[in-house]
Structure 1
Amino acid sequence: MVILKITQICRVAVAIFISLLACTQRTTEPDMIVNPNADASAYSFLSLGDSYTIGESVSANYRWSVQLADMLRKDGEDVGEPDIIARTGWTTAELQNAIKTSGNQKTYDLVSLLIGVNNQYRGQSQDQYRIEFRELLQTAIKFAGDRAAHVFVLSTPDWGVSPYAAGQNKINIAQDIDQFNTIAKDECHKVSIAYIDITPLSRSAAGDDSQFASDGLHYSGKQMKLWAEKALPVVKALLKK
């Protein structure tokens, strides 16, 4: 009986370890990806975030911000490929630390921010998220040359609808994601930053494997294209400000 209990405990421990490893797996990309041809474009673009911005498990051209830049160019806006500071597994604090260590002193015409899923996944407090998200908004504004009107935020997608989340409490995950997004939306409103709600789009992917990457956790380029399409009219308007 004792041996059986120990075996069961070990199995649970291994399952938890694998779960954490899958959600915090890091890409081989550097923390900051710089577009070498940025100066050749009329508008520069910086994209800040975590796995959803770096495009974990998908090709670079499927990243949502890369797709958005391509859509803008097709609509006649001379926007360069985005510089990206993002890494799978990052929380708000880890993104802020990476920005500091990057030494990036450039200013941009567009700055995007998508962060929060790892705060939720790790069970970090919403009060902590509010403080750190607020600081990131100020960092984003600084990158935009102190122009809040040139910053935009995407809401956190709901990973609870992914194949990876099978067997987990999807209702609780959704409620948590909504609460974190409410904080982000509130903080954006306070400083007049555009907030784009892509969470319903992510939830519409439930049951459609084509909208998820090969790891079963992150989203495919097909789903991220929807995010870019949702952001497109908002960002076009920002460029005119």
Structure 2
Amino acid sequence: MSKAKYTFLTIFLLSYMALLGYNEGNKQNIESMDQAGSLKFLALGDSYTIGESVSENDRWPVQLATALNQSGISMAPPEIIATTGWTTDELQKGIEKAFPKPPYDLVSLLIGVNNQYRGRSLDEYKKQFEALLAQAISFADGKAEKVFVVSIPDYGVTPFATDRNPEKIGKEIDAFNKAAEAISEKFGVAFVNITPGSKEAANDPELVANDGLHPSGKMYTQWVSKILPVVESMIK
């Protein structure tokens, strides 16, 4: 091979390798931008957050992420730490086992119905809820404005509670929510009250899942309609 041909081939190969390197690096940059552009959402709770008796797409955190994306806010699929039946202390243990990876751009907390259902004291709830809320804020890089609390729905209006003293359930749920709202205000955290809307299930069976207790996807959609503007203002 002549010296000229060898030089040409060398330049060609070096240029080609450089082009490949540029394309690969550019691809990695695009992927990094995509990842960096998607906000991280952590949802903490119980059956209402994991969406007992509804499909994954009907869960309110999933519906919220979808709605945010549709409104132009790039949101990754939510990370959910929640299990049906969890009380405040059980959620705390669940968080410890889940090893979440902060910081998150958005964190939600909805917990307490099982404390009420099991007859646990309001004072215990206040103490444990406050600790959970402080932890939620720490997951949001210490920024309370990135955290929101969702009130406990009134399951006293569901078929499940027909013979379980619905009036007593409603009053106790209201007391738990009042405590959660006061603690949220203390920490400077947004509190979204979906409880009045949950009471509509008394007259609309479609708002209740097939198990006769938990919210349906339709009710979760109503929740998201109240949560969405709050979260949009938090993010923007």
Q: Same fold (TM over 0.5)?
A: yes
CA displacement at 1:40 relative to structure 2: 6.0
Change in 2 beyond 3 A, CA 1:40/1:57: farther
Tell me, which stretches of 5 or more residues in structure 1 are unaligned? Answer: 1-37
Within-5 A mapping of 1:133-152: 133-152=129-148
- Picking from 67, 70, 78, the partner of 1:71 is 67
Q: Among 198, 209, 212, which residue is 1:216 paired with?
A: 212
When you count helix as a share of all residues, which structure comes out higher? Answer: 2
Q: Deviations over 1:38-87 (max 9, x none)?
A: 93642110000000000001000000111011111111111111000000
> Secondary structure at 1:223's aligned position in 2?
helix
Normalising by structure 1, we get a TM-score of: 0.82
CA contact (8 A) 1:134 1:187 kept: yes
Are 2:229 and 1:233 aligned? yes
Give the Cα–Cα distance (whole angstroms) in 2 for the partners of residues 72 and 134 of structure 1: 28
More displaced 10-residue stretch of structure 1: 46-55 or 164-173:
164-173
Alignment of 1:203 onto 2:199: yes
Task: Pick one of 102, 113, 116 that aligns with 1:120.
Answer: 116
- Mapped pair 1:158 → 2:154: yes
1:186 aligns with 2:182: yes
| Alignment partners' CA distance in 2, 1:167 and 1:102 | 37
Give the secondary-structure state (helix, strand or coil) at the position aligned to 1:222: helix
- AA in 2 matched with 1:225: T
Say if 1:166 and 1:144 are closer, same or farther in 2 by CA, change over 3 A.
same
Q: Is the 8 A contact 1:41 1:80 kept in 2?
A: no
Q: 4+ runs of 1 displaced by more than 3 Å?
A: 38-41
Q: RMSD between aligned alpha carbons?
A: 1.1
Aligned amino acid, residue 181 of structure 1: N
**Counterparts of 1:103 and 1:237 in 2: how far apart (Å)?**
29
Aligned to 1:7: none
Please state how far the C-alpha of 1:170 moved relative to its aligned partner. 1.0
**Take 1:104 and 1:44, find their aligned partners in 2: how far apart are those partners?**
11
Corresponding letter in the other structure for 2:74: D
Question: 1-side partners of 2:122 and 2:80: how far apart?
Answer: 26
Structure 2 residue aligned with 1:91? 87
Query: Of residues 37, 41, 47 in structure 2, which corresponds to 1:45?
Result: 41
Q: Is 1:172 aligned to 2:168, yes or no?
A: yes
Shift of residue 181, structure 1, vs aligned partner: 0.3
Q: Rg bigger for which structure?
A: 2
How many pairs does the alignment contain? 203
Give the CA deviation at 1:182.
0.5
Question: What's the offset of the Cα at 1:105?
Answer: 2.9
Q: Percent identity among equivalent residues?
A: 52
Q: TM-score, normalised by structure 2?
A: 0.84
C-alpha distance in 2, partners of 1:221/1:104? 26
What is the alpha-carbon distance in structure 2 between the residues aligned to residue 104 and residue 236 of structure 1? 23
After superposition, the C-alpha distances for 1:153-195 in whole angstroms (9 at most, x for unaligned) are 0000001011111122111100000000000000000010000
Of stretches 168-177 and 206-215 in structure 1, the one that deviates more from structure 2 is 206-215
Q: Which amino acid aligns with 2:173?
A: I
Which amino acid counterpart does residue 57 of structure 2 have in structure 1? N
Alignment check: 8 A CA contact 1:72 1:232 kept: yes
